[in-house]
Every structure is written in structure tokens, then in C-alpha cells.
Structure 1
Amino acid sequence: MTLPVRRRPGSLLERAMPFGWGEPVAAQFEDLFERMNRLMEGAASVPAAMAWAPAADMRETDDSYVIEAELPGIKRDDIDLEMSERELRITGEFKEREREGVLRHSTRRSGRFEYQALLPADVKSEDVSATLCDGLLTVTVPKAQATKPRHIEITES
């Protein structure tokens, strides 16, 4: 993770004085900057056990929502798909394969993954279907049938 770099010598408080900022305002900015640095340093040390999210697209058709998630190299049995009311949740684990020799460099993700999507309309959660082909998980969530407007005749009494 890249952290901001100070390019000019001195603290923010020293640099703010030529601009006419008073000491209290500049000191608040200095404090804020230091807290942001601590926050960014803490984010850089996130435990490796935390889940990662796969790349995914969601598109809407006339009668359904289609979610396509990239899960290359992950077996069907290692993927769990849950649907509740309007929320879709894809979880699982990409297990490291055994290798010979010493691994010198790796950019592939492994371990637990999780993808969540909140669908914008009422859906038929009991009719959800999913397929896994060539590392692409395709989940189709049918929309609930909305009541169609109909013309009502007004009669005289």
C-alpha cells in the first residue's frame, strides 16, 4: 500500500504560517494528517486471513438479474451460494495447490473469498440458478412479477 510522502521539509504547522493560518487551525491539520498516516499504516497490516472479493459484474435484463463472478481455478464444491430476500452472497475458498520447489513470487490470490450484492428489486429467491463454466460463475436471479396496470371501467350509478 502506498502512503503519502511529504515533499517539503518541516511540519505542516511550519509550512502553514506563511499562508497566514493561525496556529490552532494548522495544528488541527497536523493532527488530522498524523491520524490519517496511522490509519493507512494500520490498513497496510491487514491480516492475510481476511476474505478477498472476486471481480464480478451484475447486469439487469427484462426478467432477471445476472451476476458473473470470476473464480478461475476454484472447484464447484469450494463455492457456497446463498440468497435471502434481496441479498446474494457468494463465499468460498481458493485452496493453494501443492508445489515442488520454492515459490519465489506469487500474485495470485488464495484463501477465503466473499462477494455480496444487494439487488435493487423484489426477486424470486427460490428460483435462483447458477452455473460454473471455465472459471466464470453465472448466477441468474429472476425478478418477481410486478402487477401490471390494467384499465378499470367506471360505471354510473
Structure 2
Amino acid sequence: MTLPAQRSSGTPTTWRPLRGFEDIYSEFDRLVQSLVGGYGNGTTWMPAADVSETDAAYVVEVELPGVRREDVNVELDGNELVVSGEIKERRREGLLRRSTRRIGQFEYRVLLPGELRTDDVEASLAHGVLTVHVPKVQATKHNKIEVKDSNGS
């Protein structure tokens, strides 16, 4: 395969041996953003999260680095937990060369099985992780009933 010749416009240029890799990286980044949604291009994105279950509750941990508490909404609609909000772009000085941080609207949804104590849900944000604690309704206790002899004694 032959490559097209690049002609100089008369101005001297400096040789940059890694320029080809920068171009490949930029094209690959553009392709990935077009396939899975970009960083801050107006689309809603889903943050990474873990959902764990204990005997008493569900614990949902959502990664939200750089998010302020007032920019997060946590709602429980029936059995569906919805975490939404926005990461706002911060003011910068100077020329931004590359940005890979996610900005814009985000939303995470998870359906939790069983009966939940909706009045006792707690959420806290620390070190870029939102932790939501959703208690389960206490199941009825299982009691073993002793069977007695009914012969009159």
C-alpha cells in the first residue's frame, strides 16, 4: 500500500516522531465516543456501580467522582432505585488539550427485589462514591412449634 506524499507549504516544520501515534489515538477516541456515547456531548451516561445484598438490606455504591451532593438525586420508585444528576464542567484557564472526564447528565437505575422499607432509605456521598442503603422489610420469623402428646397428660 502506498501512502500519499505530504508536501510542505514552504514553512519549515519540526519533525515529531510520535505524531502518527497521536493521530491514531485521536481517531480511536473519536470512534469509541461515537459508538458508546461521548464525554459531555449531550447524552446521558451511566456511572459504574456495585449492588450488594445482606440479610437486612441492599447496598448500592455508585462511582461519582467530582460530583457535589447538591447535584445528585436519589429516588425510590416502587422497587426501582434511580440515581441521577449532573457533573458540571468546571471553569478553566488556558487551552484544554485533551479531556476524558465525563461531564453532563448521568443516570443509574436498578430494580431491587422483595419488599423494601422505603421510609428508612439512607444515602451518603464520600470520596466520590455515593452509597445508598435500602433496608428490607423484616420477614416473618420462622418458629419451630413443639408437638406435644395429647393423651391427657
TM-score by length of 1: 0.66
| Superposed CA offset, 1:77-126 (max 9, x none) | 00000012211000000000010112111111000000001012211111
Instruction: Choose from 34, 37, 44 the match for 2:35.
Output: 44
Instruction: Choose from 126, 135, 138 the match for 1:145.
Output: 138
Q: Contact 2:37–2:45 (CA<8 Å) still a contact in 1?
A: no
Instruction: Choose from 62, 65, 70 the match for 1:69.
Output: 62
Q: Per-residue deviation at 1:148? A: 2.0
Q: Which residue is 2:15 aligned to?
A: none
Structure with higher helix content? 1
Task: Tell me the secondary structure at the aligned position of residue 110 of structure 2.
Answer: strand
Task: Tell me the secondary structure at the aligned position of residue 44 of structure 1.
Answer: helix
Alignment length (residue pairs): 114
Q: Which residue is 1:102 aligned to?
A: 95
- CA-atom RMSD in angstroms: 2.1
* Equivalent-residue separation in structure 2 for 1:45 and 1:115 (angstroms): 16
TM-score by length of 2: 0.67
Task: Tell me the secondary structure at the aligned position of residue 86 of structure 2.
Answer: strand
Amino acid at match of 1:49: G
Instruction: Choose from 102, 118, 124 the match for 1:125.
Output: 118
Instruction: Choose from 108, 120, 136 the match for 1:115.
Output: 108
Q: Per-residue deviation at 1:66? A: 0.4
Higher mean C-alpha displacement, 43-52 vs 73-82: 43-52
* Equivalent-residue separation in structure 2 for 1:135 and 1:44 (angstroms): 27
| Superposed CA offset, 1:111-151 (max 9, x none) | 00000010122111111001111111110000111112334
* Equivalent-residue separation in structure 1 for 2:36 and 2:101 (angstroms): 19
Listed as ranges, the gaps of 5+ residues in structure 2 are 1-33
